[in-house]
Structure 1
Amino acid sequence: MEMPGPGYAFFGPEERANVEEVLDHWERTRHTYGRPEPASFVHRFEALAGEVFGARHAVTTNSGTSALLTALVAAGIGAGDEVIVPGYTFVASIASVAHLGAVPVLAEIDESLTLDPADVERRITPRTRAVMAVHMLGAPCDLTALRRVTERHGLLLVEDVAQACGGTYEGRALGTFGGLGAFSLNPYKVLTSGDGGFVLTDDPGLHRRAAAFKDHGRYPADGPAGDPLFGLNLRMPELSAAVACAQLAKLDSVLRRTRAVKRRLAAAIPAREGVRRRTLHDAAGECGTLLVHLFDRAGDARAVASALGTTTLRDSGQHYYGNMRQLTAPGGRYAGPALRPGALPRTDDCLARAVALSVGVSDRHLGAGFGTTVHASDTEIDWVAERFTKAVRGVLG
C-alpha cells in the first residue's frame, strides 16, 4: 500500500478555487524584487503561518529541503561548522548541512526515535554551532532536555518539522522552540501543496536573511538591507502557495482525524510481553500519522513486518543513515562520519526492532507499508488492528 499524506486526502473545492484565482490574476506575484504583493497567496500564507503557529515571521520556500538550507544559511552556518543531527532522519536533514561545507555530526536516537539529548551533549566540540532536532514520524523530540543542552553550551537549536506540521510540545507549536523551524509541504506530509516548505522564526535578523537567501540575496524592501548574501532561487510558486493556504486552513481538521484514527487503532491492539509502544515525549501533541511498536528482539520485528508485507524501520529507505550512500558521491561536500551500519549502535538496534503502522501516510521509505487510511471506517481500522495482532501472535506465540 502506498498513499500520500493526510493533507492530500483533504483536497477539496477550496484548493481548486484558490488555484483558479491564481490563473485569473497572474499579475499577483510575491517576487517583485523584494516588494511583497499583499494579494498574493505567498504573502497570505506567510502571514497565516505566523498566526497559526505563533511565530513572528514565516518565509516560504519551494521545498522542505530548501527550508532547511535557508534556515541554516540564515543562522550563518558555514564551512567547518559542526551541526549535530540524528542518524534517523530523512537524507535532506544531513545533506542540507553538508551542502554548506559544514560537518554533520551524527548522534544516537532513543526509543522515542528522536535525538537522545545525552548523546547530543557527548558529541559537542568547540566547532559545534547548532543542533538539529528532527521531530520524526509525527512526534516531538524531548525539547526540554535539548533546549537545556543547547542553552548550556550556547548553541542554536534548529527544528526540522517536516514530518510533524501542527504537532505541539507542552501546548506550544513545534517549530517555535529553536531559533528557526523548517517545514515541508510535499505529498507525504501532514499538509501538502504538491511541494513546498517554509521557515518560522521570531528573530527579525534571521527572518531577513532567510527571505534574502531564498530570493537571490535580495533583502525585503520593507526594511534595511543586510550584509551581501549569495542567495538562490528557492521561492515558493504562487500556485503552490494557493494550495498551501487552503491546506493550512484545514490543519485542525486533518489532525483531529489522524489522531482519532490512531486512538482507535491503538485501543484495538492489546498489550503483551515482548513488544511495546514507541516512547512519546508529548502524546497529546503528536500528529497521529503513524503507530510504532518496538519488539524486544529484532528478529521478531522483522518476522512480524514480513507477515504484514512491510519492513522494519531499519530495513526501510533513506531515513536510516546507513542507506545514505549518495551523500558520499564524488564531487559532493560531505565531510561527516562514515555512513556505515554500526556507527550508531543504539540507533541500529532501535530501528531494527521497530515496526510502524501507517495512519495518515504510507511510504515504503518510512517503513510504513501497512496500515489504514485517514478516512478509514471503524471496521477497516479494526481489521488492521486484527491483522497486526494476529501477526504478533504468530511470531511471539
Structure 2
Amino acid sequence: MPGPGFAFMDDAERDNVLEVLAHWHEHRLDFDNPGSTSMVRRFEDAAAARFGVPHCVPVNSGTSALLVALAGLGVGPGDEVIVPGYMFVASIGAVICGGATPVLAEIDESLTLDPADVRERITPRTRAIMPVHMLGAPSDMTALRAIADEHGLALLEDTAQATGGTYRGEPLGTLGAAGAFSLNPFKVVTGLDGGFLLTRDPRLFQRAHSFHDQGWFPHRQETGEGEPVFGLNLRLSDLNAAVALAQLGKLDAVLERTRAVKRDLLARIPERPGMRRRLLHDPEGECGTLAVFVFDSAESAAAVAKRVRCKPLIDSPKHYYGGLPALAAFGRGEPGPFPFRASGTLGDGRDYAKGALPRTDDVLARSVALSTGVSDSYLGAGNGVGPFSTPEDVERVAAEFNAAAAEVLG
C-alpha cells in the first residue's frame, strides 16, 4: 500500500462511488444549485468542518491546490515566494507556473524550513512563505508565523504530506492564509487522486474557487461577492470526492494506527553514537507516516540505507531542488522549459543548481527513512512497516535496521 489510507479501504468508499453512479444525472455540474448534494459539495463541507475553517476548495490535485491558493492571494509576476529546498516539485512548479519566482531556503534537521534562513531571504519582492510539512511532520510554525507577521507576508502551507497533523493543537493547513492538501495515493488519506484548499479568508476563497472553475463564483453562481477572475478547469471529480469523503471519515483511525506503529518501531530502534532521530517541532502533532534517522556522515547514511534496501533522502530528485534540471534552467534564464513565461520573467540569474543550499544538501545526504505508513521507494522509504503490520513484522524491520547501523557505526 503506498499510503496508509489504502489499508482502510472498505465498503464505505465503494458505496459512495456507487451512489455517484446511481445519481450522476441529478446534479452533474450543479449549475445554479447552491443546495447541491453532489459528492464534491459534501466533501467540501465535510473537510471545512473537520479542520475547523469556513472555506474549502476541492480540486483535482495537491498541485492545483497550491496554484489556486497563489491565485487567491494574488501572487504573480514580480513576486517572490520562499520555498524550502526539500519539498515536492509541485511546491516550486506552482510558483513558477503562477508567474512568481521561487526563492529557495535551507532546511534543518527537522527536514523543514529553517526560520533563520527564511529571514535572510526576504526582499521587498517577497509576498509569501511556503512551509512544507515534509514526511508528515509540522514546520516550526511559531517562528515562521512571527516572521510572516513582522513582514506582512502570507503563509501558504503545503500540507500535502501531513493531512490531519497538528501544531500545538491546531490543524496543519489552518495556521496561515491558506493550506494546500493532496489526496493522491501516497498521502495519509486518498481520493485516488485530488486535493483541496482550506482558508478562513472569504476573498481568498472566492478568488481561488473562481480560478479553479473557469471564473464562476463559488458553487457555479454567475454573480457573487468579490471580483471576477479568469480561471481554469481544476475541479475535483465526483468519483474522487466519493472516495475522499469516505476516507476523511477514517482520518482519525488512520492517524491512530500510523502513530502507534511508528512508536512501536522507534521503541525497538535506539539512538546510538553517529545516529539520531529527526528533529520534530511537535512530536504529538506529526502524522507518524515515516521514521527518519539522521546520521553524522553521508557515508554512514548511504551504507545503512543500502543494507536495508532504502536510499538517502537526497537521492529522490523531484523532492530535492538539486535534482530538478528545469529549475536550474529557470535560474539561467532559459525559456525552453517554460511555455507560459516570457524570457524577461525567468530566474533573475539565480543559482538553483545542487550546492546552492549546502546545509540542505548535507542534511538530506545524511538522512534515511523507514516507512511506518507511507511506502514510497522513490521518496527513499521503500522498506518498513504499515498500519496493520504485526509486532513480528515490526521486530523484523527494527532488527534489520539495528544490525545495519551496528555494522556501519560500530
TM-score band by shorter chain is: over 0.9
Task: Summarize the alignment of residues 222-261 of structure 1 with structure 2, pairs less than 5 Å apart.
Answer: 224-261=224-261
Match of 1:16 among 3, 6, 14: 14
Q: Deviating runs (4+, > 6 A) in structure 1?
A: none
Partner in structure 2 of residue 71 of structure 1: 69
Give 1:175 shift. 0.4
- CA distance in structure 1 between the aligned counterparts of 2:249 and 2:109, rounded to whole angstroms: 33
Partner in structure 1 of residue 214 of structure 2: 216
**What is the aligned-residue identity percentage?**
59
Normalised to the residue count of structure 2, the TM-score between the two structures is: 0.94
Give 1:340 shift. 1.4
The one-letter amino acid of 1:374's match is P
Asked if the contact 1:34–1:218 (Cα under 8 Å) also holds between the matched residues in 2, the reply is no
Partner in structure 1 of residue 365 of structure 2: 352
Asked if the contact 1:36–1:43 (Cα under 8 Å) also holds between the matched residues in 2, the reply is no
The one-letter amino acid of 1:51's match is A
The one-letter amino acid of 1:304's match is V
- CA distance in structure 2 between the aligned counterparts of 1:335 and 1:376, rounded to whole angstroms: 46
Asked if the contact 2:216–2:222 (Cα under 8 Å) also holds between the matched residues in 1, the reply is no
The one-letter amino acid of 1:162's match is A
Give 1:37 shift. 4.8
Give 1:373 shift. 1.8
Partner in structure 1 of residue 324 of structure 2: 324
- CA distance in structure 2 between the aligned counterparts of 1:11 and 1:183, rounded to whole angstroms: 20
Partner in structure 2 of residue 288 of structure 1: 288
Asked if the contact 2:54–2:200 (Cα under 8 Å) also holds between the matched residues in 1, the reply is yes
Q: Secondary structure at the match of 2:25?
A: coil
Q: CA distance change for structure 1 residues 331 and 273 in 2, over 3 Å: closer, same or farther?
A: closer
Partner in structure 2 of residue 385 of structure 1: 398
Match of 1:335 among 347, 351, 354: 347
Asked if the contact 1:29–1:238 (Cα under 8 Å) also holds between the matched residues in 2, the reply is no
Asked if the contact 1:7–1:254 (Cα under 8 Å) also holds between the matched residues in 2, the reply is yes
Task: Summarize the alignment of residues 24-39 of structure 1 with structure 2, pairs less than 5 Å apart.
Answer: 24-29=22-27, 31-33=29-31, 35-39=33-37
Partner in structure 1 of residue 387 of structure 2: 374
- CA distance in structure 2 between the aligned counterparts of 1:375 and 1:383, rounded to whole angstroms: 14
Partner in structure 2 of residue 52 of structure 1: 50
Partner in structure 2 of residue 199 of structure 1: 197
Give 1:335 shift. 2.3
In the alignment, structure 1 residue 365 sits paired with structure 2 residue 378? yes
- CA distance in structure 2 between the aligned counterparts of 1:63 and 1:364, rounded to whole angstroms: 21
Partner in structure 1 of residue 148 of structure 2: 150
1:120-165 Cα deviation digits (max 9, x unpaired): 0100000000000100000000000000000000000000000000
CA RMSD, 1 decimal: 1.4
Structure 2's unaligned 5+ residue stretches are 330-334
Aligned residues: 395
Give 1:274 shift. 0.6
Q: Secondary structure at the match of 1:88?
A: coil
Q: CA distance change for structure 1 residues 30 and 88 in 2, over 3 Å: closer, same or farther?
A: farther
The one-letter amino acid of 1:96's match is A
Give 1:24 shift. 0.2
The one-letter amino acid of 2:147's match is V
Asked if the contact 2:385–2:393 (Cα under 8 Å) also holds between the matched residues in 1, the reply is yes
The one-letter amino acid of 1:178's match is G
The one-letter amino acid of 2:203's match is G
Partner in structure 2 of residue 312 of structure 1: 312
The one-letter amino acid of 2:392's match is T
Asked if the contact 1:81–1:102 (Cα under 8 Å) also holds between the matched residues in 2, the reply is yes
Give 1:271 shift. 2.1
Q: Secondary structure at the match of 1:183?
A: strand
The one-letter amino acid of 1:254's match is V
- CA distance in structure 2 between the aligned counterparts of 1:341 and 1:238, rounded to whole angstroms: 41
Q: Give the stretch that moved more between structures: 65-74 or 26-35.
A: 26-35
Q: CA distance change for structure 1 residues 148 and 34 in 2, over 3 Å: closer, same or farther?
A: farther
- CA distance in structure 2 between the aligned counterparts of 1:38 and 1:81, rounded to whole angstroms: 38
- CA distance in structure 1 between the aligned counterparts of 2:384 and 2:370, rounded to whole angstroms: 5
Q: Secondary structure at the match of 1:106?
A: strand
Task: Summarize the alignment of residues 176-191 of structure 1 with structure 2, pairs less than 5 Å apart.
Answer: 176-191=174-189
Structure 1's unaligned 5+ residue stretches are none
Give 1:34 shift. 6.0
Q: Secondary structure at the match of 1:148?
A: helix
